[in-house]
Amino acid sequence: MQTFWLKKIRLLLTSILLFVLSFSTFAQNNIEGLRIWPSPSTTRLVFDLADTPKFTYFTLSKPERLVIDIENTKKSFNFSNITNDSKLVKKVRYSTAKNKQAVRVVIELSKKLDKTVFALTPTAPYGDRLVVDLNDGAAPTTPQIVLDAKSSPDRDIIVVLDAGHGGEDPGSIGPARSYEKNITLGIAKRLQGLIQQEKGMKAVMTRTGDYYISPNKRPEIARKHKADLFVSIHADAFTTPQPSGASVWVLSMKRANSELGRWMERTERHSELLGGAAEIIQDTASERYLTEALLDMSMDHSLTTSYDLSRDVISQLKRMTKMHKKTPQAASLAVLTSPDIPSILVETGFISNPREEKNLNWSAYRQKLAVSIFAGIKQHFRDSPPDGSLWARQKRETRTHKVRSGESLSLLAQRYNVPISQIKRANNLSSNVVKIGQVLTIPRT
- β-strand partners of 202: 158
Overall fold of domain 398-442: Membrane-bound Lytic Murein Transglycosylase D; Chain A (3.10.350)
Identity of the amino acid at 385: P
What are the sequence ranges of the domains in the chain? 26-135, 149-390, 398-442
| The pairing of beta strand 343-350 with beta strand 399-402 | unpaired
Among 273, 250, 255, residue whose Cα is nearest residue 340: 273
108/70 Cα distance (integer angstroms): 17
pTM beyond 0.85, yes or no: no
Q: What is the CATH number of domain 26-135?
A: 2.60.40.3500
- pLDDT higher than 80, residue 137: no
134 φψ region: left (φ > 0), alpha (ψ -120 to 50), beta (else)? beta
Per-residue pLDDT reduced to its tens digit, 42-96: 899 999 999 999 999 999 999 999 999 999 998 889 998 898 989 999 999 999 9
Assign 22 a pLDDT band (cuts: 50, 70, 90). Answer: very low
Equal fold, 26-135 vs 398-442: no
Residues 418 and 445: beta-carbon distance below 8 Å: yes
Per-residue pLDDT reduced to its tens digit, 202-227: 999 999 999 989 888 898 899 899 99
Assign 41 a pLDDT band (cuts: 50, 70, 90). Answer: confident
Identity of the amino acid at 428: N
Specify the pLDDT at position 20.
Answer: 46
Per-residue pLDDT reduced to its tens digit, 338-389: 777 899 999 999 999 999 999 999 999 999 999 999 999 999 998 889 989 9
Assign 15 a pLDDT band (cuts: 50, 70, 90). Answer: low
Name every residue whose Cβ is closer than 8 Å to that of residue 30 and which is 6 or more positions away in sequence. Answer: 49, 50, 51, 73, 74, 76, 77
Range 149-390 classified under CATH 1.10.10.10 = no
Concatenated DSSP letters of 223-241? HHTT-SEEEEEEEE--SSS
